[in-house]
Amino acid sequence: MARPVLSAPHFHNEEAAFAYVEAHLWPEGPTCPHCGNCDGERIGRLTGKSSRPGLRKCYACRKTFTVRIGSIFEDSHFPLRLWLQAIQLICGSKKGISTRQIQRTFDCSMKTAWFLMHRIREMMAPAANAGPLGGEGKTIEADETEMGKSRRTRRPKGFKRSTHNVKVLSLVERGGDIRSVMMDHRHVGARLRTMADKKSRL
């Protein structure tokens, strides 16, 4: 029987969470973010009673660090295992998840929930050098929408449709990535030509 994804150790144990993130960010061993030293023999793990989980010391520059430095987890006191839970919830939610829901789930302040969402969404943004979606033999679906009040909402007398609603175009590559961009409806064609590979099936 399949186990729930969130039952994995790195979602519940801080040491396991650090080991999980280190394996992904340091696949060839730890690297000091202060001096760039990657010699495993000159980087030690601090395991004293007062040491934080994942704390290491570089004996080249004599400074301490964790895998949080230089990542989206930097400057945050939020437990790493809860960071991983938040990432899983956001990525695994088909219709998205709100900042308010993150606040309720983790029983944290709205400021902390906003910080988590902002950092995670920033990490998920495509790289500046990311190429177009799709390619030969691949299928892309595209749709656009306008973010505003539902058309079912009762309108007051004399109501006029807003021309300032945010307009969004999204492209989904089947079995691949998703890209969304705010735009003006008059530029749909230009955006499609930029964001989708010409050899794709649209």
Last residue of a domain, one of 91, 124, 157: 124
Domain tally, the chain = 2
What angle do the packed helices 14-25 and 80-92 form, to 10 degrees? 70
* Domain annotation covers residue 132: no
Show Cβ contacts of residue 82 under 8 Å, excluding neighbours closer than 6 positions. Answer: 106
DSSP string, 69-87: TTSTTTT--S-HHHHHHHH
Same-domain pairing of 114 and 156: no
Question: How confident is the model at residue 191, as a pLDDT?
Answer: 83
Query: Are 120 and 145 part of one and the same domain?
Result: no
Give yes or no: residues 147 and 65 share one domain: no
pLDDT of residue 193: 85
- 169 in the same domain as 86: no
What does each C-alpha distance from 188 to 184, 191, 194, 195 come to in angstroms? 7, 5, 10, 10
Does residue 135 belong to any structural domain of this protein?
Answer: no
- For residues 195 and 140, what is the distance between their CA atoms, to the nearest angstrom? 10
Q: What integer pLDDT is reported at residue 13 of this predicted model? A: 95
Cβ atoms 66, 18 nearer than 8 A:
yes
Q: Are residues 33 and 111 in the same domain?
A: yes
| H or E element, residue 167 | strand 166-173
pLDDT at res. 69: 94
For residues 25 and 116, membership in a common domain is answered with: yes
Residues 165 and 98 in one domain: no
Q: Rounded to an integer, what distance in angstroms lies between the CA atom of residue 37 and that of residue 59?
A: 9
- 114/111 Cα distance (integer angstroms): 5
Res 153: pLDDT:
63
Q: Are residues 98 and 161 in the same domain?
A: no
Domain that residue 58 falls in: 5-124
One domain, residues 17 and 108:
yes
| Helix, strand, coil tally for the chain in percent (to 5) | 35, 15, 50
Cβ-contact 88, 5 below 8 angstroms? yes
Are residues 179 and 105 part of one domain? no
0.75 surpassed by pTM: no
Pair 120, 144 in one domain:
no
Do the domain assignments include residue 170?
A: yes
In a domain, 35, yes or no: yes
Listed residues 124, 153, 177: the one ending a domain: 124
Average confidence (pLDDT) per 10 residues, the chain, 202 residues: 80 95 94 91 88 92 94 93 94 85 94 93 78 90 78 66 73 87 76 88 92
Domain co-membership, 149 together with 119: no
Residue 30 belongs to some domain of the structure: yes
Within-domain flag for 88? yes
Predicted pLDDT of residue 33: 93
